[in-house]
Amino acid sequence: MDKVRIGIIGVGKMGTQHTKAFLANKIPNAILTAVADTDPNKIEAAKVLLGDSAYYFDSAEALIESGSCDAIIPTVPHYFHPVYAKKAFEAGLHVLCEKPAGVYVKQVESMNTAAKKSGKVFGIMLNQRTNPLYQKAREMVQSGELGRIIHVNWIITSWFRAESYYALSDWRATWAGEGGGVLLNQNPHNLDLFQWILGMPKRVKATVYYGKHRNIETEDDVFALFEFPGGATGMYTTTIADSPGTNRLEITGTMGKLVIEQNKIVFHKLSESTDDFNAHFTGAIGQPTNEVIEVPVEGTYTSHPGIITNFCDVILNGGTLIAPGEEGILSLAISNAIHLSSWTGEGWVDIPCDSDLFCEYLAKKCGGTLPV
């Protein structure tokens, strides 16, 4: 096998985007051989793009059982990511799951167990891990170049969505259909990068607004305060209401501050650590001097095609996934805890949070029972 045969389940917005990437030869080590959707109109639209080069199915199960592909990419409503992933693993297929990994941690734990049991390659579409900016930031933090981390502040409000966006799909921004709003739709990327760069926070306290800016059930404005195991604190702000929005990540350590914004990294590098300065300084007011450096960043942001290409390369040749599927649970654990902090009104919630309690609250919002 020199190319992986891919089947896409769900050819809506993201499924069509992936389809066009295949047609543009952006994934050199794979071929799109099958698509599935329960909507006949979407299948017809896929046929216009792909013609006779693919097989077409009216259900995920039919595609999975067809033998027409080696791996699947499920681009379906979030609750069904683990459902179809587990069915694919049982059928001996590799899986590249769309984000988020699912809606609640307990559901994703069962998917991770199925993946491990299958022995198949399991990836997740956390495409922003291919961005050299965040790769460099991670390298600098984890190498200790910033010293001991003190504060983190991410303002990620560049996710503007108009009312019409939600009107396009009846499952969007509903508890029973999507399982959340800005945290489950847009922010899996940023919450993943948050923990990928800095490690998992240990607890969170959040203020969350539901349907504040749009006529939706779920959250559209979020403010969260984090504590990390090493004592660092973090602030996280996101919304779909701001235009123009902001994407600014500040990471402050004892050796200076990183600012990631406008596609560049600026390092305010201290002459000595604040710990050392504090130990010897005897004046009333003072601080270490700092040098402002724009950090060179090498590489190209390959986004979704980069994740798919890497996934297929691991299938064909072995190696390391940029975004292992098992790690999708980490950003979900953070968003579940943010929601639970808001729902209970009790302030600090541990990460991971109480899975049973989370599901109890979510089921009530879904009308009494979880969809799957």
Dump pLDDT digits (tens) for 287-327.
999 999 999 999 999 999 999 999 999 999 999 999 999 99
Residue 80: its pLDDT value, please?
A: 97
Indicate the pTM of the whole model: 0.96
Indicate left, alpha or beta for 351 from its phi (over 0: left) and psi (-120 to 50: alpha): beta
pLDDT score, position 1: 76
pLDDT over 90 percentage in the chain: 99
* Structural domains in the chain, sorted by start: 4-127+302-324 (3.40.50.720), 129-298+331-350 (3.30.360.10)
- What pLDDT digit, counting tens, does each position of 55-102 carry? 999 999 999 999 999 999 999 999 999 999 999 999 999 999 999 999
Nearest Cα residue to 123 out of 339, 294, 267, 315: 315
Direct distance between the N- and C-terminal alpha carbons of the chain, in angstroms, rounded to an integer:
36
| DSSP 8-state secondary structure symbol assigned to residue 1 | -
* Confidence class for position 169, pLDDT limits 50, 70, 90: confident
The DSSP code sequence of 346-363 is -S-EESS--HHHHHHHHH
Extract the tokens encoding 70: 């080696």
Residue 345, both tokens: 């009104």
Tens digit of each residue's pLDDT (9 = 90 or more) over 344-367 = 998 999 999 999 999 999 999 999
Residues 6+ apart with CB under 8 A from 285: none
232, pLDDT greater than 80: yes
